[in-house]
Amino acid sequence: MIIAQLLLPGASEYERKSQRIDFASLSAEHDVRIGEASDADLIHVYAPEAMHVDLKLPYISNAHPNRRRFRRTPQPERVITPLKDTADSFIPEAVDETYFAGGEKQPHKPTVGTFARPQLRNIIEQTAARIQRYRDDVDWLLFDTAPSPDDLRGVDVWVDPAMSENDFDGFVAEAIVAGTTVIASRIIINVQRLEKGRTGVLVPPGDPNEWTHAILAALFKPEFRNSKRIAAQQTASKFRLRHRARALIELYESILQ
């Protein structure tokens, strides 16, 4: 099977990591080409929400293209999503295998980490200010690029204060796999990742008081933090590459039959 991958400008960090993962996992048995679609059997488009495409071959994507006035816009054969129980095709989220390798945590100041996005600035600043009222020994590290496994293991708690249901970019799955306790906004993707709160802490989006309480509890109550981390390790295998690769190939083959 010849699979063309098109990574469009403005694609989310989630789509960018998915493209990298899919290329790595599918290339062993299939001809996967980045950006070259002329003789492909099928095209996989990794796109931003506002997508503009004009493709002649069958394709799938994570979004519907914008409709153009007075012109028919070719629709994808399937729209895929990591969310279960939707009208779109479920394709599970995957995490690069390097995050599964174990690593030792080193003693340090109480530290939380977050993948920074512009829309999170206010909630982070408000929460950090409240934390400082109670503790002056907490570091909050903001990562402008995808955190490495060592980055995730270098913090006590990984925090994803996502503000939108469409924000999948918090690297929550990677933190789970790396063995770091997670606190995340109660949006659909994080409810799913954290097994409805069994394997991590879910907090209402945009509430700095709730965020402050959750972060301090996770940092300074080791039994609370460790119980969530241990539960998460029991479910981490759901993010293995093989599950996503199998689902993608089954979807591709169903389209090409």
Q: Tell me: the pLDDT tens digits for 147-164?
A: 999 999 999 999 999 999
* Helix runs in 135-240, H state only: 149-153, 172-178, 188-193, 208-220, 222-233
- The pTM is what? 0.92
Q: Look up the CATH number of domain 2-94+240-256.
A: 3.40.50
Domain boundaries, the chain: 2-94+240-256, 98-239
pLDDT at 101 (0 to 100)? 77
Q: Tell me: the pLDDT tens digits for 65-98?
A: 877 665 677 888 999 999 999 999 999 999 999 9
Q: In the Cβ-directed half-sphere of 101, how many Cα atoms lie within 13 Å?
A: 6
Token digits for 75? 């629709």
d(CA 1, CA 143): 37
pLDDT at 107 (0 to 100)? 54
Give me the DSSP letters along 99-120: GGS--PPPP-S-EEEEE--GGG
Evaluate whether 2-94+240-256 and 98-239 have a shared fold.
Answer: yes
Token digits for 229? 């981390």
Q: Look up the CATH number of domain 98-239.
A: 3.40.50.2000
Question: For 248, which DSSP code?
Answer: H
Rounded to 5 degrees, φ, ψ at 119 are -70, -10
Residues facing residue 41 across a β-bridge: none
